Structure 1
Amino acid sequence: MFLTVLLLLGALGGWAQSSTLGKSRPLTSALWLNLSSDARLTDRWGSHLEAQWRQAKGVGTPHQNVLRLGVTYHATAALQLSSGYALLLTTDNNDVPTATLLPEHRVYQQLLLNDLQDRLQLQHRYRLEQRWVQLADGAAPVYVNRIRYQLRMLYPLSGPVLTSSGAYIVAANELFLGFGRNVEHGIFDQNRAYAALGYQVMKSLALELGYQNQLASSASIGRFGNTHSVQVGLKFNPDFRPLALVAAAKEAEAK
């Protein structure tokens, strides 16, 4: 709760400021295709894989590709600790017509808290990132720190708990704050608000279709801009523990 309050206060202090890192020509619309997988390997350990294909102006203009890999430690049923690496390739839209792919390398540490309030599933995600961002073709990477907080709420529509062949709705908000010597014009980086309709195809597979409003600062125009995105997400979370595999086989046979 203390960390959450600090993040919200930081955002309020940065609404009227701008950041100079990793921003090209501002977008107004985008399409994101997301694939994520959180695999449970043992009672304590798991893996994370995430790939994103982001297009600007619908599917007409390449914008960004993301690959994230991580290792997860399940401390308790409600607490997960993770660490990993991410690679981003961003198209410099200011370089049209010869657009350049600018790489960004990240290392991250993450804390995830799950909470159940009657039918409502709450998830608090705190992520700390160390980023090496290339701002122009041939330029040396710039190092910057960033902290992110996401509150995600899921509500099942088909019953008191989410089961296979059940629909659900999702609402989420994520706040991004930069800090360190290379953050020149305030700590507020961006905010993402998200709403979606989901369908739990089976215990390990879910599909989401949603909308995201992204408020981000842009150095090229010196002010904030909104990007409206349609997102299609596929979540595959297999459980490879022996007992879970037996239970999944029995469920498949019952169908």
Structure 2
Amino acid sequence: MKKNILLFFFFILNNYVSNAQTGKNVDHQNLFWIRYYNQLEINDKWSIHSEFDNRVFINPIVQNLFVVRVQGRRKFSEQVELGAGFVYFSVATQEPEVNLGFNIPEYRGQQDITWKQNWNKIGLNQRFQIEERFFQNFDREGLTNGTTFFWRFRYRLQGEYTFWKKENQYLKAILYDEIMINAGKNVVYNTFDQNRIYGSLQYGISSAVALELGYMNSFQQRATGVDYFDRNIIRFSIFHKLKI
């Protein structure tokens, strides 16, 4: 069953990417993302994760969006954990050449199940996530009443390799591929949302702080069905663990 689900997701990805490469309109963009990620451990099973993420276009330097994410997580074993939370997006623009003059809010619920396995220096991480996305309605003059709702389903396959680990310090490489699928009555042309490929190095400074620098390619289909974003993204992250 799990194998069939994975094959289904990757079949959709290959189909849409292949179509996108045959005469579709692709907008190439460069961005820089900086993120602070806090993990507050309540006990061995429960934790609260919060994230603050700022995303900016490069050349020209223009604000893309700002993200605040809070979720509770429950660890059931060393391999399986569940999470649920709330996300707030403030979108300035998706195209640096377009100045809306106002920010568009998005309110999002999310739930996920994550499965992890480790073999000495190698780790495998799989995550299936469901999102309930509410976009604030707007027109050329500004925000209007009401929201537009979408479902989104995400599957991420991530591999990790630890080069070395000494006491509370470590250095590891991370590589993942994540596919996202839209659903709901408001989705007309872009059932495929996007695919993200990411590679990074993460350096653990201490048991509480780690730094990560990586590159992501995001290929996203827009609501028109014929327009796409092909984004090259440099991402810098600060991870901070606290215990109660």
Please give the range of the TM-score, normalised by the shorter of the 2 chains.
0.7 to 0.9
Measured in 2, the distance between the counterparts of 1:172 and 1:90 equals: 25
Give the TM-score taking structure 1 as reference length: 0.82
Residues 85-109 of structure 1: CA deviation (Å, up to 9, x unaligned)? 0000111356844532000000011
Tell me the equivalent position of 2:143. 138
Q: Which secondary structure state, in structure 2, belongs to the residue aligned with residue 157 of structure 1?
A: strand
Give the TM-score taking structure 2 as reference length: 0.86
Structure 1 segment 86-101 matched on structure 2, within 5 A: 86-92=87-93, 96-101=98-103
Unaligned runs of 5+ in 1: 19-24, 241-255
Measured in 1, the distance between the counterparts of 2:219 and 2:186 equals: 21
Q: Is the strand fraction higher in 1 or 2? A: 2
Measured in 2, the distance between the counterparts of 1:100 and 1:16 equals: 35
Q: Which secondary structure state, in structure 1, belongs to the residue aligned with residue 92 of structure 2?
A: strand
The answer to which structure, 1 or 2, has the higher relative contact order (CA under 8 A, 6+ apart) is 1
Measured in 2, the distance between the counterparts of 1:15 and 1:175 equals: 11
Structure 1 segment 212-223 matched on structure 2, within 5 A: 212-219=216-223, 222-223=226-227
Tell me the equivalent position of 1:157. 163
Q: Which secondary structure state, in structure 1, belongs to the residue aligned with residue 159 of structure 2?
A: strand
Tell me the equivalent position of 2:242. 238
Matched pairs, number: 232
Measured in 1, the distance between the counterparts of 2:161 and 2:35 equals: 21
Tell me the equivalent position of 1:61. 62
Amino acid at match of 1:158: W
Alignment match of 2:188 (pick from 184, 187, 192): 184
Shift in Å, 1:117: 2.9
Measured in 1, the distance between the counterparts of 2:243 and 2:89 equals: 28
Unaligned runs of 5+ in 2: 21-25
Sort the Cα spacing of 1:196 and 1:27 in 2 relative to 1 into closer, same or farther, 3 A.
same
Percent of counterpart pairs with the same letter? 19
Which range moved further: 134-143 or 69-78? 134-143
